[in-house]
Structure 1
Amino acid sequence: MNAPAAVTPPVPDWPATALGDSAGWPASLRLTVDILLNSPQAMLLMWGPEQIMVYNQAYADLAGLPSLRAPGGNVPAMQPAAFAWNSAALAPAREGRSVSYRGVSLPLWRDGHIEQQCLDLYYTPVPDHHGGVGGILCALATARPAALDDSSAPLRLLVVEDNADARYLVCETLRALGHAVESVASGEEALPLLAQQQFDVLFTDVSLPGISGVELARQARRQAPQLALLFASGYGDELTKHLEFPSQSLQKPYDIEQLQAVLEQIAAAVRGG
């Protein structure tokens, strides 16, 4: 039997890109780009202080933008969502540590409009000539909802967030993690829902128009003393640590792993009775 013929991809015209002639690249960049271009998995590399983006055809197909032509190699007018979705997400990679996030909801272009899709993101630092972090490689894969253990049920959460984009993102993330979610934009909308339906968790922004998140939680606690309270705040727990009732806080911007960890704590308490 004859061996299948090897397929050699065309060599990109690197001197015509912002990366310049590949002869001047560090060995780590050459290796990373070779792996990226020959991988069937969607991959996107951000390189240098200019944030030059290099990507493979799998990433271009996933992102769906008609203007994307692999391998890229230019500074984009707008950062790709894989690097822009959370300002704190890349901090570990910039410090030289690999990091991953599961079930991140990113906007992708589909059939002429934007759709949100849950993805798993894996970030790997790529060293430069001097051993520092010269770039960050992101591999993207379609997310699978996190499996809940056999003895557990999804948490029922009411999300209160006045920013529509943030509200959509957190709700899609919570659903990807396997939970049941309702959402409203204000405390005034939340109180009737809390009276009509049973929730395990009230997840509210601290700063809301009208009734504040703290006052909403106080009133909700009177209605349902068993309700777990989770705050999101740009000030961490500074505004909530001295409250007269138990609660937990996430500091904005928080990542998926932080959210999942605190929900696991809450779930253990709720299911433990």
Structure 2
Amino acid sequence: MPDHDPRSAHHPRSSVSYDWSGSSLGEPAGWPAPLRVAADLLLNSPLPGLLVWGRETILVFNEAYAALAGLGCGRVPGGSVPSVLPPPLSSAGSALQQAWAGQPGLVAGAALGFRHADGLREHRCDLHLTPLPDGGGGVGGVHFLLAPPAPQPVQAEPEPDNASLRILVVEDNLDSQYLVCEMLKAFGHEADGVAHPDDALKLLGERRYQVLFSDVSLPGMSGVDLARRALTDNPALKVIFASGYGDSLLRHLEFPYLSLQKPYELDQLQDALAKVARQPAQAR
């Protein structure tokens, strides 16, 4: 069953609209000015609310709260000491203690359970607590407003650094080639492996790869020369080199690349893929 919408049956009210003679508060004419003002604001609010006055916990609540609270609520507009704390008070926790000390408080996303004839109903809201002065420099009560939960800002999901890539692995050691391809597939990438630069050029002409992951030392052609030829046809191709002989062959290259020193760790390969995916495409 949907929660009651207090706006649909709201009529202007104030403290003088009710007979308080039988309540613990007595007639409004004898109330402290802060209580009278707060009660008028509360009773004329379309949102569910209640106020607690005095340490003996005298309650005042509006019609919207009465409709929401159901069987757990006394006669409108209150003015009685409850035998059981209402759900807003029992859910306020430390925020209520802070309000009694003079500090406004907020309990975001409070789940309040109210008992009705058809069973327990849950109402989720933000509890706003406001201290009420007693007219003598202290805190005489606390006002509770049950507001709709504030919408949470929608945060864009960050794009993973290693989003799925189409990778060509060029490695003449077949065991290493197989292992690298399997690791890349385990990371969620597409990977093809070849042992010879000629086979690599053939695949590069047939398919659109995003990353060339090549050993520097290859039969017939270096990985550097292979990358140059590949970039001529596909300037957007990203390049990662693997070398067991240091970076001496990779100095002063005219295109961006990353390199891994053999043997490399699994996380080094993942990091290289994340970095190379962020590199801007090479202009023609």
TM score, norm. by length of structure 1: 0.50
User: Whose relative contact order is higher, 1 or 2, with alpha carbons under 8 Å and at least 6 apart?
Assistant: 1
Normalising by structure 2, report the TM-score.
Answer: 0.48
- Structure number with greater Rg is 2
